[in-house]
Amino acid sequence: MKYQPPTEPVDIRVWQGDEENPFYPEGQREKLLLISPEKACPDFCVPQHRYLFKESFHRYKDQFWAEVLAYKVGCLMNKSVPPAFVAFNSETEVCGALIEWFYTSKSKYFSGGEVMTRMIPGFDREKGRQHNFETVEVYSSALSKQGIIQTDWLQYWAKTFVFDALIGNTDRHQDNWGWLTHRRKNLLKLLEGKE
C-alpha cells in the first residue's frame, strides 16, 4: 500500500492537464485527467504518470474521502485497487481524491458498457437498465474458453461484490467496470469471431 502522510495532501494546482482528454467525460462528478510533475512529485506518487482528480458532489463536500477509504479497504482485502490520495487545488480551493491511473498506453481497456452494447440489442448506454450479471457471465465464460482470461473470473467478481458491500458502493454501473488487456486484438471482436 502506498502511504500518504496525513500532513501531505497533494496540491494539484501546477499539475498539467492530460493533452488527450483533460476533462474526464464519464460519470456525474467533475473529474480532471492530470499528469504528475517530474520534479516536486510527492514520494507516494509516480512522476510523469496520469492521475484522475475526482471532486465531490456539491451537496456532499467530503464525499471524496470515500475514494481514499475504498483504496485502504481494498489493500486490507489484498484486492488490486488503484491508489487514491487526498488532494486539493490551492487556486480554486477545491478538494478531491487523486486516483492513480491503472493502465498505460500499452494496454487496452474495454468498459462494461462497450460489452453490454455489443451483446444486448438496443442497450441504452445512458440509463443502463438492461445491465446485468448474466451477460457478464456469458462474456467472461467465452473469453475464458478461448484462453483469453486465465484467472478465475468468477472469484474476481465475488471479491468485487464483497468489496462493494464493505465500502457501501452502489455505483457498479456498466461504465464502472471493465476488462484490461495487453493483447493487441480487440476482445469485443474476438467474442464475435471477427478476429
DSSP characters for 143-169?
HHHTTS--S-HHHHHHHHHHHHHHHT-
Q: For 35, phi and psi rounded to 5 degrees?
A: -115, 125
**114 or 24: which leads in pLDDT:** 114
Please tell me which of 6-10, 114-118, 143-147 the model is most confident about, judged by mean pLDDT.
6-10
What is the per-residue pLDDT across 175-184, written as a single tens digit (0 to 9) for each?
888 888 776 5
Terminal Cα-to-Cα distance of the chain (whole angstroms): 38
Residue from 153, 160, 154 nearest 176 by CA:
160
* pLDDT (average), residues 62-87: 90
Mean pLDDT of the chain: 85
What is the per-residue pLDDT across 129-153, written as a single tens digit (0 to 9) for each?
999 999 999 989 988 888 888 789 9
Angle at 59 between CA 58 and CA 64, to 5 degrees: 65
Rounded CA separation 10/100 (Å): 13
* pLDDT (average), residues 155-159: 90
Helix, strand, coil percentages for the chain (3-state, nearest 5): 25, 20, 55
How much is the pLDDT for 194? Answer: 46
Q: Which pTM value belongs to this model?
A: 0.79
Cα dihedral sign for 25, 60, 66, 94? positive
Q: Kindly tell me if the per-residue pLDDT of 10 is higher than 90.
A: yes
Place of cell 448474466: 134
* pLDDT (average), residues 156-179: 88
How much is the pLDDT for 190? Answer: 57
